[in-house]
Structure 1
Amino acid sequence: MLLATGSILAAMLPVGVQVGSARPAAAVDAPELAYAVVPLYQEGVAVTPDGAVVAVPTGTRPAYLDGSRVLDPALTNFDAILDGGDAVHGTREAARLAQVQRDWLASGRIPGVGGPYEDLARSALLDLHTLLLPGGAMVAGWEDRWRYVWPRDAAFVAVAFARTGHVDSALQVLDFLARTQHDDGGFEARYLPDGSGPPDDRTPQTDGQGWAMWAAGLVLDELPAGPTRTAVAMRLAPLVQRAVDGTTTLLTQTGLPPASPDYWERDEDQLTLGTVAPLVAGLEQATKVLTVAGDTERADLARATALATRTATIRTFGGNGFTRYADGPHRDAAAAFVLRPFWQLPATGGRAAWLASVDEMRRPVGLAPAGEWRQDGVTWTPQTSLYAWVAAEQGDDDRALALLSALDSHRTLTGSVPEKVLADGRPAAVAPLSWSSACALLALDALDS
């Protein structure tokens, strides 16, 4: 399997890049290629003995207590970690906090255990647990510009928590989304961790309500039939009901919503596949949640709306091969959103479009967010890990393992998955990134299935 993985990874890379090499071969340094250099903002996150979450500075390898992200009071240089600050060097409290994280890990399961990516999974779970704040705020990262809750990222983490046996944590994340959701079912682009509102005046993103409904259904899937499943469905019902009602109102006579920002996080004047495909996925999952909760009338509405919007999406985007815009030449990562684990019935032609998007998005280490993305050599781990999960769900294990290998071999000193990887293999930007960590876990979970 490792040989197959290496060969698939090599096939995904441009000529001149060596599999398993920290730096590209000479051919990558051709004059016409201008590769970007982005700094690494921190190595990862840690919990101090007094319970505070802190960033681990670049170039620092902290000493954690075994099986945790808690700093070891006996071994850690707190001046280096805290930039000259002070910490309560409480050995007993540190041990307690570490045991909390170990107990949390033990309450679920580590996907890929016993295999080459067990440490990737363990580190990702610990990072996500550390980034989950009181009240269910699942922040995207710990650097200031990422210390917010994006509904999309939070939804993926909720599914990752549920599929690794941490349903309670998943429900905390979804409860936060329910508290911050607008009465019309929509969401802001991102939220302050205290849930008080957005940090700026970014345009709200319509895909958020799709991702929230989608996550609610997949979290519910992890519970067997019985009173607990019914109780959880009823707990999730207000979130899903508002999203269904709002989405139904939003859709035009064509079955499609108006243009909105999507995961590119920029204002749009044309509808993107990345906006409408998550709505289909969410409405399909909403049907399940509402049926179990006993709201059959609204479940029927969700089912009918999902079918109408799915049909309109295929009619509008399918003829051009599921490109970002209906009349555009380029695909982006939203090509994955018309396949499992998003749409319950994959779109005809969706797999071919997704495979084409892999070729278009290819970068020296992994993938960029889109085929038309700038050719700066930078790999984005959200899309690389997302495609690893989609590949695993399609039964394309070799491709999934190749992409996971790319993630695994370019982690930071703490073992965290960064947002970006440069062409020469250096991790860059924020680390860890919760969306990437969640998708890596979900890919490993799918490979275990």
Structure 2
Amino acid sequence: MRRRFVVPVLLGVAALVAGAAAGPRAMPPEEQLITAPGYRAQPAYADNGQEAADLRWLASGTVPGSGTPWQDMARWALVDVHAHLEMNGTVSAGPGGPWDHFWPRDGSFAAVALSRSGHPSDAASVLDRLARLEFDPAVGFQARYAMDGSPLTDRPRQSDGCGWVLWAIAEVRRDDDAGVPPSASELRDRCVRTLTGLVDGGRRLPPPSPDYWEVPVTRTSLGTVAPMLAGLAAAGRDYAATGDLEASSRTHATVARLATTVERGMGPGYERFGDDGGLDASLVVLLPPFTAEDDLPAGMVRAVEKALAHYQREASQPAGGVAPGVQWLKPGGASWTPQTALVALSDAAGGHGHAADLRLAWLDAHRTAHGSLPEKVTRTGRPAGPAPLVWTASLVVLTLAELDGTSASAAS
């Protein structure tokens, strides 16, 4: 059972919310680190029996990156994911306050990290909870849910959620069938129907929807359509793995049409809105491990790889990580650990182990005093924002599994 935390809401701090408008940048004060009272204050435990429980849980699975310089980071990342997992399958994004909610995106990554580290029953609990959330067949999931699973309607629905969920189901199944609950089949079918409708069978881009930036948009972003494309491709493979060849063929045909539509509507630059908006980290979702060989046209993959190289340079921040996008409007010069870890995962899956190691070294060097991965690193190199951030912790586990060669994509 997840340990419950309470944390005060600090003024001026929110998860992935855009800030000041473009113009001369006056550097604001650097953000502070936020963690929950009662959580680890150092890389040690209070004498309350929790250390023994965590060690038993870790020993029941595996720790990707064991025997490497990143072993300690991986162990704490797994402990942090598990600590934020409720018995009902919801996973909070971070340490209380505004982050004490369940995002389908973050939950999908946590499910794959739990599966990849040999904890299929925990992964199954997350997927089962996703299957039981309130859902609009025309759009999909809410942006986020309360920790009891009830819907939160203070933000618009985010139609990319089904893409992340479809990818997670396929990844978990490739690890271990035991990680996929019976409810996941209906969830897969429902998400495929919803996404297929949103893109008219692949013939159009989906309507505008907030994506992981969680800001209003009036045009379709790559951050919305890329997870849809990757998720549908994963669903096509998952249908084949479960013997439904007709559904697999039908879904792959949708993917082929949608890839052509994305190539036409978002290429050749693949900026946030196709021809403008700047490059952002959602480029990663069009590459392994989110897509497989032959999912996308070769020319499209080459263009995305080129754009991703430009993004890494142009989004670099003073402390050494990256911003979510090159036109990210929040001032202050902070590096964002989820996007930095996404790039590391892409490097690992693409066979660029040295580049992934450099990103992992940076993440490791900027953990908190209690060993957790924060959401941000300030321009002067201090951990900031909520810590731990479950999305980043999950991404680090997945990156290390790729480097170990034990991931589903590495094994394919």
Q: Where on the TM-score scale, by shorter chain, does this alignment land: which range?
A: 0.7 to 0.9
Equivalent pair of 1:63/1:72 in contact (CA under 8 Å): no
Aligned to 1:384: 340
Contact 2:88 2:129 in 1 (8 A): yes
Matches within 5 A, 1:362-401: 362-365=316-319, 366-374=321-329, 376-401=332-357
Between the aligned partners of 2:388 and 2:164, the Cα distance in structure 1 is 21
| Residue of structure 2 in register with 1:61 after alignment | 42
Q: Aligned residue for 1:72? A: 47
Report the counterpart of residue 408 of structure 2 in structure 1.
none
Partner of 2:163: 210
Q: 2:315 aligns with which of 358, 361, 372?
A: 361
Alpha-carbon spacing, 1:233–1:350, altered in 2? closer, same or farther (3 Å): farther
Which of 241, 248, 255 is the equivalent residue of 2:204? 255
Question: What SS is found at the alignment partner of 1:133?
Answer: coil
Shift of 1:147: 0.4
RMSD over aligned Cα atoms: 2.1
Q: CA deviation at 1:283?
A: 0.6
Structure-1 residue corresponding to 2:264: 315
| Count of residues in Structure 1 that have an aligned counterpart in Structure 2 | 372
Counterpart secondary structure, 1:307 = helix
Residue 430 of structure 1 corresponds to which residue in structure 2? 386
Aligned residue number for residue 266 of structure 1: 215
Q: What is the deviation of 1:262?
A: 0.3
Deviation at 1:292, TM superposition (A): 3.4
- How far apart, in 2, do the equivalents of 1:232 and 1:157 lie? 14
State which of 263, 277, 285 in structure 2 corresponds to 1:337: 285
**What do residues 208-241 of structure 1 show as CA deviations (whole Å, max 9, x unaligned)?**
0000001100111113xxxx56x94754211100
Map of 1:153 onto structure 2 = 106
Distance of 2:61 and 2:151 partners within structure 1: 32
CA distance in structure 2 between the partners assigned to 1:291 and 1:232 by the alignment: 15
- Answer whether contact 2:333 2:378 (CA < 8 A) is retained: yes
- Alpha carbons of 1:351 and 1:188: their partners in 2 closer, same or farther (altered >3 Å)? same
Deviation for aligned residue 1:165: 1.4
In the alignment, which residue of structure 2 is the partner of 1:303? 252
Q: Does structure 1 retain, via aligned residues, the 8 Å contact 2:227–2:285?
A: yes
Letter in 2 for 1:161: L
Unaligned runs of 5+ in 2: 1-23, 406-412
**2:372 aligned partner:** 416
Asked if 2 retains the 8 angstrom alpha-carbon contact of 1:257 and 1:271, the reply is: yes
Q: Do 2:63 and 2:117's aligned partners in 1 also have CA atoms closer than 8 Å? A: yes
Amino acid at match of 1:423: R
Tell me if the contact between 1:41 and 1:143 (Cα under 8 Å) persists in the aligned partners: no
Matched residue, 1:100: 53
Q: CA deviation at 1:310?
A: 1.5
Give the equivalent residue in structure 1 for 2:91.
138
- Amino-acid identity (%): 40
1:415 to 1:283, Cα distance in 2 relative to 1, 3 A: same
Indicate conservation of the 8 Å contact 1:136/1:173, yes or no: yes
SS of the residue 1:429 aligns to: strand
Q: Contact conserved, 2:317 with 2:335, CA < 8 A, in 1?
A: yes
Superposed counterparts of 1:158-197, under 5 Å: 158-182=111-135, 184=137, 186-197=140-151
2:82 maps to 1:126: no
Structure 2 match to 1:109? 62
Q: Tell me, in whole angstroms, the C-alpha distance in 2 between the residues paired with 1:288 and 1:168.
A: 22
* Residue in structure 2 matched with residue 240 of structure 1 by the alignment: 188
- Tell me if 1:352 matches 2:306: yes
Partner of 2:17: none
**In 2 relative to 1, CA 139–32 (structure 1 residues): closer, same or farther, beyond 3 Å?**
closer
Aligned partner of 1:136: which letter? G
Equivalent position SS for 2:67: coil
Contact 2:127–2:181 (8 Å) recurs in 1: no
Mean Cα deviation higher: 378-387 or 288-297:
288-297
Using the alignment, how far apart are the partners of 2:91 and 2:277 within structure 1?
A: 35
Matched-pair contact (CA < 8 Å) for 1:140–1:153: yes
Q: Secondary structure at the match of 2:393?
A: helix
Once the two structures are superposed, the pairs formed by residues 3-22 of structure 1 within 5 Å of their partners are: none
Structure 1 residues 426 and 390: alpha-carbon distance in aligned structure 2, compared to 1, 3 A threshold: same
**SS state at 2:338 partner:** helix
For residues 288-327 of structure 1, the C-alpha deviation after alignment (integer angstroms, 9 at most, x for no partner) is 32333344433333222112111211221122x2110112
Q: Secondary structure of the residue that 2:135 maps to in structure 1?
A: coil
Looking at CA atoms only, which structure, 1 or 2, has the larger radius of gyration?
1
**CA offset at residue 100 of structure 1?**
3.3
AA matched with 2:47: D
Distance 2:240 2:287 in 1: 23
Structure 1 residue 278: Cα displacement: 0.5
Unaligned runs of 5+ residues in structure 1 are: 1-30, 46-53, 65-70, 74-93
Task: State yes or no: 1:40 paired with 2:33.
Answer: yes
| Shift in Å, 1:395 | 1.3
SS at match of 1:349: helix
2: CA distance, partners of 1:193 / 1:330: 34
**1:446 paired residue among 392, 397, 402:** 402
Query: Contact (CA 8 Å) 1:258, 1:271: kept in 2 or not?
Result: yes
Provide the rounded CA distance (Å) in 2 between the counterparts of 1:313 and 1:307: 10
Deviates more, 1:367-376 or 1:330-339: 367-376
